[in-house]
């Protein structure tokens, strides 16, 4: 079975009101874990590859691994460039057959972000590819700019609803990654903090009111950083801080219902893998066959992905809609 286009997966997810899991792939075990879980739960899936993954594993190896996964499963799979940092990298991935790319120029001034996104969009659309771009800064909830005079402040870290509309119109991007208190990694929040879900609703509504339809939004930094996994890592010799914190799964559930169509998860997979490997190293110190620790690591990632697609993203069961 060939790759399924990101456009098609988005259209079905919007219609079915579920979110696509976009899981980061860096090696064979992660890929197998993600695809096996999605196959067993009949979930469509987006595999995403970062620049770091390409540097680590070699783009040719990743392409061949994904070809192997696609040829041994029946579920719909799309392949996406995560956090492309230049037109050239996006072009390479488009030329390699990725079904979508992200151009991330969110750290640049508005004009530059629009300009590079436009350029990627023009090339992508000529080559049957769609583009995700980002507006705002993923700085976490502690940097909430608050509100000005009852309205959302403009030009701040968080995505402003009207600016989102203007950005989509000017850049022509096909989906938009938003900043609503989300951030990458295992230390997202301080204490009891949450995503700004009211702002997310306002962004979705502004896009709808502007005639852009049921426009797909993307949530980066969506790992929930489970405490029990952090504890297991520490139990077996790791030193993850006390202050690990992720997005509560209840927040992701609401984000999904409000209209986050693609939900990016990487850190949780890394942690599940690390905890399982550490456990083998500590409980079986004589073991030196990599398969003896990579197999439990793969299983742990698989169960985590299964949980996400069944209980949080609700994409399970939708592979053949």
Whole-Å CA distances, 28 to 64, 68, 105: 10, 10, 29
Does residue 219 belong to the site contacting ligand G3H (CB under 6 A)?
no
Is 134:158 a contact under the CB 8 Å cutoff?
no
Residues between 234 and 263 that touch ligand 13P (CB under 6 A): none
Q: How far is the CB of 89 from ligand G3H (least distance, A)?
A: 12
Given the residues 55, 82, 95, 145, select the one marked as catalytic: 82
Whole-Å CA distances, 67 to 22, 51, 63, 143: 17, 19, 6, 41
Nearer to Zn ion, 232 or 262 (CB): 262
Helix 267-283 with 28-41: angle, nearest 10 deg:
110
Q: How far is the CB of 197 from ligand 13P (least distance, A)?
A: 17
Angle, CA of 161, 197 and 203, to the nearest 5°? 20
Q: How far is the CB of 53 from ligand G3H (least distance, A)?
A: 5
Q: Which of 266, 276, 305, 314 binds ligand 13P (CB under 6 A)?
A: 266
Which of the choices ligand 13P, Zn ion, ligand G3H, none does residue 69 contact, using the CB cut-off of 5 to 8 A by kind?
A: none
> Measured between alpha carbons, how far is 86 from 161 in angstroms, rounded to an integer?
26
Q: Based on the residue annotation, tell me whether 82 is a catalytic residue of this protein.
A: yes
Does residue 270 belong to the site contacting Zn ion (CB under 5 A)?
no
Residues between 275 and 304 that touch ligand G3H (CB under 6 A): none
Q: Which of 185, 248, 296, 317 binds ligand 13P (CB under 6 A)?
A: 185
Q: How far is the CB of 267 from ligand G3H (least distance, A)?
A: 6
Nearer to ligand 13P, 262 or 298 (CB): 262
Residues between 7 and 66 that touch ligand G3H (CB under 6 A): 24, 50, 52-53
Is 130:78 a contact under the CB 8 Å cutoff?
no
Nearer to Zn ion, 220 or 318 (CB): 220
The β-bridge relationship of strands 260-265 and 151-152 is: unpaired
Q: How far is the CB of 117 from ligand 13P (least distance, A)?
A: 17
Residues between 218 and 237 that touch Zn ion (CB under 5 A): 220
Nearer to ligand 13P, 165 or 226 (CB): 226
Residues between 132 and 191 that touch ligand G3H (CB under 6 A): 184
Angle, CA of 115, 56 and 134, to the nearest 5°? 25
Does residue 12 belong to the site contacting Zn ion (CB under 5 A)?
no
Q: Which of 76, 161, 221, 259 binds ligand 13P (CB under 6 A)?
A: 221
Nearer to Zn ion, 4 or 50 (CB): 50
Catalytic residue set: 82
Interface ranges with ligand 13P (CB under 6 A)? 24, 82-83, 184-185, 220-223, 264-267
Interface ranges with Zn ion (CB under 5 A)? 220, 264
Interface ranges with ligand G3H (CB under 6 A)? 24, 50, 52-53, 82-83, 184, 266
């Amino acid at each position: 079975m060939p790759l399924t286009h990101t456009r098609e997966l988005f259209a079905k997810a919007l219609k079915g009101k579920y979110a696509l899991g976009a899981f980061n792939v860096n090696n064979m075990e992660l890929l197998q874990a993600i695809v096996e879980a999605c196959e067993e739960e009949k979930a469509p899936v987006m595999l995403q590859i970062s620049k770091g993954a390409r540097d680590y594993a070699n783009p040719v190896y990743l392409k061949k691994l994904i070809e192997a996964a696609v040829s041994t499963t029946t579920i719909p799979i799309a392949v996406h460039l995560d956090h492309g940092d230049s037109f050239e990298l996006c072009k390479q991935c488009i030329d390699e057959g990725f079904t979508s790319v992200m151009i991330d120029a969110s750290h640049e001034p508005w004009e530059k972000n629009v300009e590079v996104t436009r350029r990627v969009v023009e090339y992508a659309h000529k080559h049957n590819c769609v583009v995700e771009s980002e507006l705002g800064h993923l700085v976490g909830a502690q940097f909430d700019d608050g509100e000005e005079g009852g309205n959302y402040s403009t030009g701040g870290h968080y995505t402003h609803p009207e600016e989102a509309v203007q950005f989509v119109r000017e850049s022509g991007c096909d989906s938009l990654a938003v900043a609503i208190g989300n951030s990458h990694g295992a230390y997202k929040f301080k204490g009891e903090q949450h995503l700004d879900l009211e702002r997310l609703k306002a962004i979705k509504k502004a896009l709808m009111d502007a005639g852009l339809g049921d426009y797909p939004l993307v949530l980066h930094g969506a790992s929930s950083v489970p405490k029990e996994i952090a504890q297991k890592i520490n139990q077996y010799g790791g030193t993850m801080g006390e202050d690990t914190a992720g997005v509560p799964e209840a927040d992701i559930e609401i984000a999904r219902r409000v209209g986050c169509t693609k939900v990016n998860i990487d850190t949780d997979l890394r942690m599940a893998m690390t905890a399982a490997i550490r456990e083998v190293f500590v409980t079986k110190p004589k073991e030196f066959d990599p398969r003896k620790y990579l197999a439990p690591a793969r299983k742990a990632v698989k169960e985590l992905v299964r949980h996400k697609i069944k209980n949080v993203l609700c994409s399970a069961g939708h592979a053949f809609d």
